[in-house]
Chains A and B, each alone.
Chain A
Amino acid sequence: MSQDKEPRRRFLRQVLAIVPATTLATGATLTQSACSSDKSAAPAASTTPYEPKYFTADEWRFVNAAVDRLIPADDLGPGALQADVPQFIDRQMETPFGHGKLWYMQGPFHPDQPPEMGYQLSLVPRDIYRHGIAACDAYCKKQYNKAFADLDHATQEAVLGDMEHAKVEFDSVPARTFFSYLLANTKEGFLSDPIHGGNKDMVGWKLVGFPGARADFMDWVDQPNVKYPYGPVSISGKRG
């Protein structure tokens, strides 16, 4: 950690040197809070398991099982479950995104348009998950007499692959559409800042070597082809 100090100080000097006087106080406070150590910035570790706000108990089992297959723990490191991706997705369902407020949702709807014309369904993400999970579980019960979460890993992966390639059809939502949101949101939860509830301990960032909210590389742009030595920091100032 001590190796961080010097570039940080240099960075602070650069920031302080250029911000107009009116914004100096805010700028400095924020910058320092992002650089503070684990102890002062990290909230006390919680031992209570996360209670989903949107997903029902059965849906929650599905989400946990599905993200565990989409980004599994393996010899490269933790996966989506360890990164709290289910919590991330549940929290997203409560945001304007989950409610479809970021999309133009006035009719008439023409879902039969070619895919190049973009999303044309009347469903918002909350609907896509609700219908998609119910339809997938119903399909698994019909095919295998078990809910998706109770299938073995290989069968779960086969079901996910069938949805991805539209080899199964659901009535309430196109299987491929449901899969695409499930996968995109899972990756978002694995790779976004922990402030949104996923990417716990910055495991997603460590997998690729992304240094997080450091966002200052003036001290490394002149080190071509040399490995960057610092680990990630999050917006809240935690170190990974």
Chain B
Amino acid sequence: MAIKKDKVDAVIVGFGWTGAILGQELTDAGLNVVALERGGMRDTPTDAQYPKVIDELEYSVRGKLFQELARETVTIRHTPNDLAVPYRQNGSFLLGNGVGGAGFHWNGMHYRALPEELKLRSHYEERYGKKFIPDGMTIQDFGVSYEELEPHFDFAEKVFGTSGKAGNLNGKIVPGGNPREGARSSEFPTPPLQNTYGATLFEKAAREVGFNPYPAPAANTSQPYTNPYGVRLGPCNFCGFCENYGCYMYSKASPQTTILPVLLKKTNFELRTNAYVIKVNLDSDGKKATGVTYIDAQGREVEQPADLVIMAAYQMHNVRLLLLSGIGKPYDPKTGEGVVGKNYAYQMNGAVNVLLPKGTQLNPFIGTGAGGVSMDDLNGDQFDHGPLGFIGGASIRHIRYGGRPIKMTPTVPGTPSWGSKWKAGIADAYQRYMTIGISGSVMSYRDACLDLDPTYKDAYGVPLLRMTFDWHDNEYAMLGYMGDRMEEVGRAMNPEKVFRAIRKKGTHYDTRIYQSTHTTGGAIMGTNPSNSVVNRYLQSWDVSNVFVMGASAFPQNMGYNPTGVVAALAYWSAKAIREQYLKNAGPLVQA
């Protein structure tokens, strides 16, 4: 018999970025809110202590802050006809766990969306014609515009204390920033972080080739800063232990460093950790959620009734919970029918690596999570795709994360992987080998999707999520082009040698190698119930008192890192809940 808790106004499932944002907004509106986090409590003094946190083996290699795969993972297959097998060890993506979620151990790359990305299908059809989009590519518009999201992009930057330089202020191009960005209503809250030596070399070379490099927007504050909630952040000190770690300097924006000091003190808010939600409960006709059921730290089933359910878990977990709860029609890749699990997407990354002359001192250990030099000349639709024949682009950048010795001591290709030659190889490359990173978009396709695995279960016996994903020709073409263009930039740096690290057509998605934790889709937003799981306010079409946050709403993925869009969508959804839904509960968009 499940334990039944007292009913609350709203229950939030998952307590990372979007859970913290919705918690703050809904308690502000006067609601009694309970947040349920499957992991434990995490905070800066306890989980990011200096010097204990400066431990690469413990954090980056053994993954101290990541989801415990032993308890819960996903299964993966390349096509709907393959057998899916478990993602047994961390590789391709690093899922978060605990309070703050991946927002506690991310880099802090804080981009908005380029305006055209949010209306991708209609933009491409208009500029290049309907036939330009290949069969089987299932991209669509988000259903919300850049202009509508702008105040929320802006506010999220202010909450995060993001460092950067505007390039387009209210439609006017201003020097020093990104001329390709959508119009912004205000400057970044803190100025750009200082460039490392490598970043200055990339900037100079990119400019020489004719591109428009700009200071990468980083949710690593460059100076002491107090955000709109009154929470203070300190300046980043270039420690080189950012992603995979909590920030001991209180510089990297995380729920802990920006929202929780205020939210956790509120009397109308309660956080319960070690609460693993297994189901959103529905009423008898399946039209309304009555709350959620979770398993507590002792393994007991607990029912938490609520008027409003906010699904704020990570992208994959949101989709899994929808499927486990029977909300929305599951997607079937064979027929193309159904929506839950549809349009899973990822990012296609590559690099051009540059070996600078002997004697160069990059001092690679001087690093930040997100500060450096970025360029968008080949991102979104900022260049003519007509003659190129592919869709999408890449956010290209040099950001030095650090020179951590186990995972960041590369050798140039061709060096033996052990013995004296390996020793000589890492000693030689450490100070003079740098990367131009290419973070490429991935479109959505009919055969890339998520559903429940028929065989494998989590520690509680609940089915795992099953991912079906492989690369498509469009993305190989995109990445190949980016590689060509970046080789030009690499050569402009007058290096000893340039190495191309670009995935070749015919290779398959490799789950072993870290690529990015930017998995998207599966609970996509859109303009009507036949093409999406949630409406433009992230409200479930099927169960109107369920809202689903996060990158699960992206109909396809972009070259940029997703957190800026995820945060803006959360604020946008919260505004709709506060101003419309709470006054008149029911569908905010008529189907």
Partner-B contacts on A (CB < 8 A):
11, 14-15, 17-20, 22-23, 26-27, 30-31, 33-34, 69-72, 74, 76-77, 79, 95-97, 101-106, 108, 110, 113-120, 157, 160, 164, 183, 186-188, 191-193, 195-196, 204-205, 207-213, 215-218, 220-228, 235, 237
List B10-62 residues whose CB lies under 8 Å from chain A: 44-45, 49-52, 54-57, 61-62
Is B290's CB within 8 Å of the partner chain A? no
The answer to whether A76 and B224 have CB atoms under 8 Å apart is no
List B164-203 residues whose CB lies under 8 Å from chain A: 194, 196-197, 200
CA distance A213 to B90 in the complex (A): 25
Q: Closest chain B residue to A26 by CB distance?
A: B45
Q: Closest chain B residue to A67 by CB distance?
A: B418
The answer to whether B85 and A113 have CB atoms under 8 Å apart is yes
Q: Closest chain A residue to B356 by CB distance?
A: A225
- What are 23 A-B pairs at a CB distance below 8 A? A19-B250, A23-B44, A27-B50, A69-B419, A72-B419, A72-B420, A74-B420, A106-B457, A113-B85, A114-B508, A116-B78, A116-B512, A118-B76, A160-B418, A193-B54, A208-B426, A208-B427, A215-B241, A218-B237, A225-B197, A225-B362, A227-B361, A235-B54
| Interface residues contributed by chain B, number (CB under 8 Å) | 75
The answer to whether A221 and B405 have CB atoms under 8 Å apart is no
- Chain B residues with CB under 8 Å of A110's CB are 83, 85
| 8 Å CB contact of B512 from A97, A118, A220 | A118
| 8 Å CB contact of B417 from A22, A118, A164 | A164
Q: How far is the CB of B44 from chain A (nearest CB, A)?
A: 7
Q: Closest chain A residue to B86 by CB distance?
A: A104
CA distance A234 to B519 in the complex (A): 36
Whether A218 touches B232, Cβ cut-off 8 Å, given contacts A27-B50, A34-B51, is no
- Chain A residues with CB under 8 Å of B237's CB are 11, 14, 215-218
Seed contacts A105-B88, A192-B57; 5 additional CB < 8 Å A-B pairs: A71-B419, A72-B423, A208-B430, A215-B54, A216-B237
The answer to whether A192 and B56 have CB atoms under 8 Å apart is yes
- How many A-B contacts at CB < 8 Å in the complex? 216
The answer to whether B45 and A217 have CB atoms under 8 Å apart is no
List B414-445 residues whose CB lies under 8 Å from chain A: 417-420, 422-424, 426-427, 430-431
Whether A104 touches B87, Cβ cut-off 8 Å, given contacts A71-B423, A188-B61, is yes
The answer to whether A209 and B431 have CB atoms under 8 Å apart is yes
CA distance A210 to B249 in the complex (A): 20
Q: How far is the CB of A201 from chain B (nearest CB, A)?
A: 15
| 8 Å CB contact of A225 from B194, B248, B360 | B360
Q: In terms of DSSP, what is the predominant structure of the interface of chain A?
A: loop
Is B227's CB within 8 Å of the partner chain A? no
Q: Closest chain B residue to A34 by CB distance?
A: B51
- Chain B residues with CB under 8 Å of A108's CB are 455
- Chain A residues with CB under 8 Å of B404's CB are 210
Q: Closest chain B residue to A207 by CB distance?
A: B427
Q: Closest chain B residue to A192 by CB distance?
A: B57
The answer to whether B239 and A76 have CB atoms under 8 Å apart is no
Whether A208 touches B405, Cβ cut-off 8 Å, given contacts A102-B63, A192-B57, is yes
CA distance A117 to B360 in the complex (A): 39
- Chain A residues with CB under 8 Å of B249's CB are 14-15, 18
Whether A102 touches B62, Cβ cut-off 8 Å, given contacts A119-B89, A188-B406, A217-B238, is yes
The answer to whether A235 and B234 have CB atoms under 8 Å apart is no
CA distance A34 to B427 in the complex (A): 26
The answer to whether A74 and B45 have CB atoms under 8 Å apart is no
Is B365's CB within 8 Å of the partner chain A? yes
Q: How far is the CB of B449 from chain A (nearest CB, A)?
A: 18
The answer to whether A228 and B406 have CB atoms under 8 Å apart is no
The answer to whether B51 and A18 have CB atoms under 8 Å apart is no
- Chain B residues with CB under 8 Å of A196's CB are 57
The answer to whether B406 and A192 have CB atoms under 8 Å apart is yes
- Chain B residues with CB under 8 Å of A217's CB are 237-240, 363, 365-366
Is B151's CB within 8 Å of the partner chain A? no
Is B69's CB within 8 Å of the partner chain A? yes
- Chain B residues with CB under 8 Å of A183's CB are 417-418
Q: Closest chain B residue to A35 by CB distance?
A: B51
Whether A34 touches B50, Cβ cut-off 8 Å, given contacts A217-B365, A224-B197, is yes
CA distance A210 to B56 in the complex (A): 12
Whether A235 touches B73, Cβ cut-off 8 Å, given contacts A104-B86, A116-B512, is no
